[in-house]
């Protein structure tokens, strides 16, 4: 089970959890505000904003909340200045972790991220230490129960996908960012439900995690980062076997 596809699936379940929904919406609202501030408030003319709005809709964010975030970004309702920050480091087993955050106070966020690493015996690395291990890709995940593999393969390869792999109970489909819109539209037109659809950072190579204790520590670290208010995305290059995942459940 690849690190990214597994974690993307966990994030999808977290977004569907009512107890987590408020935090998910708050994080997406920040992305919408930044996108609107940088490129304007019209999703038709601002690709970054359109992706953020799509993500909001996937998380069942109310339309008025989305509209309010856009207006905050364009300055109509006042605004807060957020900046993109990238943190890199290592999890147990030498697994590489990359954390994308939006913060209005870098001096607050950086020590908090460092503490999350150190509390679990891990280390925050220098800038550039792991981001070269990841490549920006479009990522779409479809449950295997939704469609036959050969049928989906024909659809996605014809719509610009680079690769499709069956990983446990899902199909993981990747493409170049420039092909993402066309690929997503092709799947949507066939009314195939998508568990995850996003522009993501995919590890070029993965590290096999061969024991349950290490796997548990890695996943708890990932969850701790995801629970931080300023963290938008967490990526890692772990590969945990299905039997170990089943042992943890």
If asked whether residues 8 and 70 sit together in one domain, one would say yes
Beta carbons within 10 angstroms of residue 101's beta carbon: 25
If asked whether residues 65 and 157 sit together in one domain, one would say no
Whether residue 249 lies inside any domain: the answer is: no
**CATH number, domain containing residue 109:** 3.30.70.980
H or E stretch covering 170 = strand 170-175
If asked whether residues 223 and 102 sit together in one domain, one would say yes
Whether residue 108 lies inside any domain: the answer is: yes
Task: Tell me the pTM.
Answer: 0.84
How many separate domains does the chain show?
3
**CATH number, domain containing residue 8:** 1.10.10.200
If asked whether residues 104 and 217 sit together in one domain, one would say yes
**Alpha-carbon torsion, ordered 176, 90, 237, 98, to 10 deg:** -30
Give tens-digit pLDDT for 53-87: 998 998 889 999 999 999 999 999 877 788 899 99
Name the residue range of residue 115's domain: 83-132+205-238
Give tens-digit pLDDT for 135-179: 999 999 999 999 999 999 999 999 999 999 888 788 999 999 999
């Amino acid at each position: 089970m690849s690190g990214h596809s597994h974690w993307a699936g966990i994030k999808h379940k977290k977004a569907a959890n009512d107890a987590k929904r408020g935090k998910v919406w708050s994080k997406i609202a920040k992305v919408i505000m930044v996108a609107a501030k940088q490129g304007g408030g019209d999703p038709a003319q601002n690709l970054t904003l359109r992706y953020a709005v799509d993500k909001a809709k996937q998380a069942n964010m109310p339309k008025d909340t989305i509209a309010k975030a856009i207006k905050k970004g364009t300055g109509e309702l006042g605004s807060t200045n957020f900046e993109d920050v990238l943190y890199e480091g290592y999890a147990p087993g030498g697994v590489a972790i990359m954390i994308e955050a939006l913060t209005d106070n870098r001096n607050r966020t950086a020590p908090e991220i460092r503490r999350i690493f150190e509390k679990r015996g891990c280390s925050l690395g220098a800038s550039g230490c792991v981001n070269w291990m990841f490549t920006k890709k479009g990522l779409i995940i479809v449950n295997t129960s939704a469609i036959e593999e050969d049928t989906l393969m024909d659809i996605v390869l014809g719509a610009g996908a680079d690769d499709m792999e069956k990983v446990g109970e899902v199909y993981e489909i990747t493409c170049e960012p420039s092909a993402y819109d066309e690929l997503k539209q092709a799947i949507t037109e066939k009314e195939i439900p998508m568990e995850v659809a996003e522009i993501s950072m995919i590890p070029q190579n993965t590290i096999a995690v061969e024991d349950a204790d290490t796997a548990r520590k890695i996943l708890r670290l990932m969850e701790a980062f995801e629970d931080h208010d300023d963290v938008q995305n967490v990526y890692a290059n772990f590969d945990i076997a299905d039997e170990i995942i089943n042992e943890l459940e």
